[in-house]
Homo-oligomer: A and B are copies of this chain.
């Protein structure tokens, strides 16, 4: 195994070291691309399955759209093309011939979806349309930070159409809440829901909301966004419906997306200097069994019992691995700790005698994390322990998030706060204010939290009266 740089020394290098040592990724041959290796991809698949279930529970269905979009489609929505043009990958040759019209690889699918919805939606009876896509998109980018910044990234994009603005806005918030709940309940990862500043809106949206999570280095990660597209795309693509009153109206549309960036965020929220710490609900391996013996006699005593326990746990549906490699237990402990497996089952000759096993939990190092339980009822004990681990990871992350947000009512207080966390600060929603934050303090307005105490303050930049505060901090 290679060395993992301590988090306190160099957080970025720690992140790369952990992903490499846990065998999560490799770089692709085209700059900006990565390969998700089986351990990394399985983690993403588990997160995907959990999120997909939440989409279906809220009435959404999956579909699939082509990756190729005619370049002309992007021009139909003015701010959309402006936002995405610099980032496009363009196919100009197909089947050995120069193309008459260049094709772009989707950077996002609002345009091709808008075109389809204009054909599919005729009447109020067809609404709402609630479709989600799981796919990858391409935004040109040569700097690579695995899962956090990649030219091609995997994500889901939801695209819905509604009869009224009110319904569309409800959907925007519903999906923001789905992201938030997925974070908390599946990934033990808390976040703050809020409205993005005008400056940070999605290209073509009239309003963008986000969840912002705090990483181990106290930087913010925008972990999911949900957009109110108003009637911008409906007008650009002619998405109209015949209403009950027999008049034609434009639809109101939304889009929302969460990418494999969330996986990177989860690593940066929970990981420690020993490696990953994975929330049990999405961990590729939830339990690893390490048999312990000093000689062949002990081996012959331990292995049959370990085998039986493995079969028992596997039959229960828990994702379990039996580590029968010819390495020392110490090597195996380190290896699985680095890979973040939540629960380790150790079984040696003494355990066999006592009809017990040792359980070690990844979220608590050393003796404090060890318990000895009976082999009877082991599956139930493991299930209960996994619930505890989830709760404990969430509690730690929540304490880290809430403990590093400080209220600031002056520029000086904000400047002080963002040196080591986030500031909750009165700010005007004005691109000039955002620009000043970036220029002077290298921080950004993360969002205006949806849940905040009402009040009246002076913007710490312009001095104007404002009625809400923003979260400000360094970010990925």
Interface set of A (CB-CB < 8 Å, partner B)? 26, 28-30, 33-38, 40-42, 44-45, 61-70, 73, 85-96, 102-103, 105, 112, 115-116, 119-120, 131, 136, 138, 140-142, 151-152, 154
Residues from chain B with a CB closer than 8 A to the CB of A88 are 93-96
Q: Cβ of A38 and Cβ of B62 under 8 Å apart?
A: yes
Q: Cβ of B69 and Cβ of A26 under 8 Å apart?
A: no
Q: Cβ of A63 and Cβ of B37 under 8 Å apart?
A: yes
With A36-B65, A92-B92 given, name 4 new contacts (CB 8 A): A30-B70, A35-B116, A36-B63, A90-B94
CA A92 to CA B88, docked complex, whole Å: 11
CA A88 to CA B64, docked complex, whole Å: 22
A selection of 16 A-B contacts at a CB cut-off of 8 Å is A29-B70, A30-B70, A36-B63, A36-B64, A40-B63, A42-B61, A68-B151, A85-B96, A88-B94, A88-B95, A89-B94, A89-B95, A90-B92, A90-B94, A93-B102, A95-B141
Which of B37, B62, B89, B95 touches A93 (beta carbons < 8 Å)? B89
Q: Cβ of A66 and Cβ of B30 under 8 Å apart?
A: yes
Instruction: Given A45-B62, A95-B88, verify A68-B36 contact (CB < 8 Å).
Output: no
Which of B94, B102, B112 touches A28 (beta carbons < 8 Å)? B112
Q: Cβ of A42 and Cβ of B62 under 8 Å apart?
A: yes
CA A373 to CA B66, docked complex, whole Å: 45
Q: Cβ of B96 and Cβ of A86 under 8 Å apart?
A: yes
Q: Cβ of B96 and Cβ of A38 under 8 Å apart?
A: no
What are the 8 closest A-B residue pairs judged by CB atoms, nearest first? A95-B140, A33-B66, A90-B93, A38-B61, A28-B66, A36-B64, A30-B68, A92-B92
Instruction: Given A35-B64, A105-B105, A152-B68, verify A29-B91 contact (CB < 8 Å).
Output: no
Residue from A40, A45, A66, A69 whose CB has the most chain B CB atoms within 10 Å? A66
CA A64 to CA B150, docked complex, whole Å: 13
Residues from chain B with a CB closer than 8 A to the CB of A64 are 35-36, 41, 44, 154
CA A87 to CA B41, docked complex, whole Å: 29
Q: Cβ of B94 and Cβ of A91 under 8 Å apart?
A: no
Distance of A317 from chain B, by nearest CB (Å): 13
Residues from chain B with a CB closer than 8 A to the CB of A67 are 67, 105, 136, 138, 152
CA A92 to CA B105, docked complex, whole Å: 12
Instruction: Given A90-B94, A105-B91, verify A65-B154 contact (CB < 8 Å).
Output: no
Distance of A28 from chain B, by nearest CB (Å): 4
Residues from chain B with a CB closer than 8 A to the CB of A95 are 86-89, 140-142
Instruction: Given A35-B63, A63-B35, A66-B28, verify A94-B41 contact (CB < 8 Å).
Output: no
Q: Cβ of B131 and Cβ of A66 under 8 Å apart?
A: no
Q: Cβ of B152 and Cβ of A28 under 8 Å apart?
A: no
Q: Cβ of A63 and Cβ of B86 under 8 Å apart?
A: no
Instruction: Given A26-B119, A116-B26, verify A152-B92 contact (CB < 8 Å).
Output: no
Residues from chain B with a CB closer than 8 A to the CB of A36 are 63-65
CA A42 to CA B86, docked complex, whole Å: 35
Distance of A211 from chain B, by nearest CB (Å): 24
Which of B35, B61, B73 touches A65 (beta carbons < 8 Å)? B35
**Nearest neighbor of A64 in chain B, beta-carbon distance:** B36
Distance of A80 from chain B, by nearest CB (Å): 16
Distance of A367 from chain B, by nearest CB (Å): 33
Q: Cβ of A34 and Cβ of B131 under 8 Å apart?
A: no
CA A87 to CA B94, docked complex, whole Å: 7
CA A180 to CA B35, docked complex, whole Å: 30
CA A28 to CA B70, docked complex, whole Å: 10
Distance of A203 from chain B, by nearest CB (Å): 16
Q: Cβ of B112 and Cβ of A29 under 8 Å apart?
A: yes
Residues from chain B with a CB closer than 8 A to the CB of A63 are 35-38, 40-41
Residues from chain B with a CB closer than 8 A to the CB of A33 are 66, 68
Instruction: Given A86-B95, A116-B35, A152-B67, verify A41-B62 contact (CB < 8 Å).
Output: yes
Residues from chain B with a CB closer than 8 A to the CB of A40 are 63
**Nearest neighbor of A135 in chain B, beta-carbon distance:** B136
Residues from chain B with a CB closer than 8 A to the CB of A66 are 28-30, 33-35, 152
CA A140 to CA B66, docked complex, whole Å: 13
CA A171 to CA B37, docked complex, whole Å: 21
Residues from chain B with a CB closer than 8 A to the CB of A42 are 61-62
Residues from chain B with a CB closer than 8 A to the CB of A154 are 64
**Nearest neighbor of A73 in chain B, beta-carbon distance:** B29
Residues from chain B with a CB closer than 8 A to the CB of A29 are 66, 69-70, 73, 112, 115
